[in-house]
Amino acid sequence: MTPDHPAGPELSSPSLAILEAIARQAGAAILSYYDADHPPELKVDQSPITAAGRAAHVVTTDALRAWTPDVPVISEEGVLPAWEVRRDWPRFWLVDPLDGTKEFLQRNGEFTVNIALINGTEPVLGVVYAPALDLLYLAGQGLGSWRRERAGPLERIRSHPAPPGAPLVVAESRSHPSADLERYLATMPVKRRVQAGSSLKFCWVAEGKADIYPRFGRTMEWDVAAGDCVFRESGDGCPRSSPLHYNTPGLDNAGFIIGGPLVQEM
């Protein structure tokens, strides 16, 4: 099998177990910097990058390449291949080794390791791991979505669209408030608003702690792919509908709404 036509890992429980192990290794690398004073640097786009993020990048990408040497890896902290190089890739890994850098710097625990396998334009395997909370979410196409807290067992998580007209629990970003979000929420009944950092917001919708996660403004595909996989596979009987697509020319999203009332997903 050549790199142009990678087979990729099987969509199976053993693959989920390997993903969990890789995410935990990356999380351990991050936590080795958690209580130390390592000032962040600024990337070209003025977003922060830390030594912890670089360390998690090395751990994750090395492990994925050792496991699936024929499957390309795109990481936020790596060299990003041009659209002309990757446009025909059938499968690739998409990694955010430290999602929620602001939360990491604030030491509030709400940062994650995100790893997703993209097949065509959709995520088919995903892991979201919050190492400071020791909270892990796993999902695979046809395998369902799962949650493990600390040393506990894997527990199946499921979500359902809210009934039409029901007041909604809204998951929103802790670090990215938005006037567009306020205008959107003014159009619907809101029961409660809950804040979280990183891709945990996807997982909260997937496990039923929130009904909807609206996000306005630009995000990158590595920010959302693993959490999106957890959300999609949390459907009871069939996948949840997601507006997100992957391997776009800019590897970015203009905005999205995850979850919501039943009529919105139809």
Query: What HEC string does 96-108 produce?
Result: EEEECHHHHHHCC
**Quick one: DSSP state of residue 241?**
P
**Token code pair at residue 72:** 């390309």
Tell which phi-psi region holds residue 237, choosing left (phi > 0), alpha (psi between -120 and 50) or beta.
left
Name the pTM for this structure: 0.92
Q: Where in the chain is the domain with CATH 3.30.540.10?
A: 13-157
Tell whether the model's pLDDT for residue 4 goes beyond 50: no
CA dihedral sign of residues 99, 100, 102, 107: negative
* CB-count burial class (<10 Å; 0-12, 13-18, 19+) for 249: exposed
Q: Report d(CA 258, CA 206) in Å as an integer.
A: 10
Q: Report d(CA 253, CA 213) in Å as an integer.
A: 15
What's the pLDDT score for residue 40? 62
**DSSP calls for 75-88:** ETTSPPPPHHHHTT
Contact yes or no for 13/143 (Cβ under 8 A): yes
Q: Closest by alpha carbon to 199, among 119, 83, 95?
A: 95
Q: Cα angle vertex 169, ends 214, 134, to 5°?
A: 85
Q: H or E element: which one contains 60?
A: helix 51-67
* Domain 13-157 part of CATH 3.30.540.10: yes
What's the pLDDT score for residue 130? 98
Q: Report d(CA 266, CA 182) in Å as an integer.
A: 24
pLDDT category at 94 given cuts 50, 70, 90 is: very high
% the chain with pLDDT above 70: 91
Q: Report d(CA 76, CA 80) in Å as an integer.
A: 8
* Domain 168-265 part of CATH 3.40.190.80: yes
Beta bridge partners of 216: 255
Segment 207-215 shows an average pLDDT of: 96
- Which residues are within 8 A (CB) of 187 and not within 5 positions of it... i.e. 6 or more apart? none
**Across the chain, what does the average pLDDT equal?**
91
Tell whether the model's pLDDT for residue 38 goes beyond 70: no
Q: Report d(CA 140, CA 4) in Å as an integer.
A: 23
Q: Strand 252-259 vs strand 168-173: parallel, antiparallel, or unpaired?
A: unpaired
Tell whether the model's pLDDT for residue 163 goes beyond 50: yes
Q: Where in the chain is the domain with CATH 3.40.190.80?
A: 168-265
Contact yes or no for 141/225 (Cβ under 8 A): no
